[in-house]
């Protein structure tokens, strides 16, 4: 007998997800099946269908897309301390460094190991959108044993 994707006996073609009909989605990230209409989703304040046209060109252009293409279009800057260790990682919109996209500040202990990082994400206007701080706990050998994340 063939196995399902989770390695249990049975025919994998028999498995699926059945969604009960519901009302239209009302919050970002929701996807619902609406009887007589089909799949609907809610993204960036817009409710639309999966089989429809989605966002219009104007709606798409209005979205904050500066963070979409960091790896392809950014300028990376590393700041080092006197021991040569990286302390700040900054992503700029261009080599002219007119607008910061993201920045991570690393805090190190006396041994030079990272004890905390604080990543700041900026929106298209250069305003702070979110800060994610990670505090690392290390064992006696200096290995990370836990990481506590805080979003502001």
pLDDT at 65 over 60: no
Domains of the chain (ranges, CATH numbers): 20-62 (no CATH), 70-151 (2.40.128.720)
% of the chain residues with pLDDT over 70: 72
Cβ atoms of 40 and 23 within 8 Å: the answer is: no
Could you tell me the maximum CA-CA distance found in the chain, to the nearest angstrom? Answer: 66
Give Cα separations from 95 to 89, 92, 124 (angstroms): 14, 7, 16
Torsion of CA 105, 89, 121, 134, to 10 degrees: -40
pLDDT digit string, tens, across residues 14-47: 555 666 777 877 888 788 878 777 778 888 777 7
pTM recorded for the entire structure: 0.56
Q: What mean pLDDT comes out for the span 114-132?
A: 90
Residue that is written with structure tokens 């007589």 in the block: 36
- Residue 31: predicted pLDDT: 81
């Amino acid at each position: 007998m063939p196995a399902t994707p989770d390695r249990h006996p049975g025919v994998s073609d028999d498995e699926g997800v059945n969604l009960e009909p519901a009302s239209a989605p009302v919050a970002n990230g929701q996807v619902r099946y609406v009887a007589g209409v089909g799949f609907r989703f809610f993204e960036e304040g817009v409710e639309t269908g999966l089989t429809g046209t989605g966002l219009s060109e104007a709606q798409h252009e209005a979205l904050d897309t500066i963070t979409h293409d960091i790896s392809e279009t950014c300028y990376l800057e590393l700041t080092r301390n006197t021991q040569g260790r990286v302390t700040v990682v900054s992503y700029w919109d261009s080599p002219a460094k007119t607008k910061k996209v993201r920045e991570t500040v690393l805090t190190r202990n006396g041994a030079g190991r990272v004890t905390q990082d604080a990543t700041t994400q900026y929106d298209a206007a250069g305003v702070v959108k979110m800060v994610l701080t990670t505090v690392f706990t290390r064992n006696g050998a200096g290995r990370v044993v836990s990481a506590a994340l805080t979003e502001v």
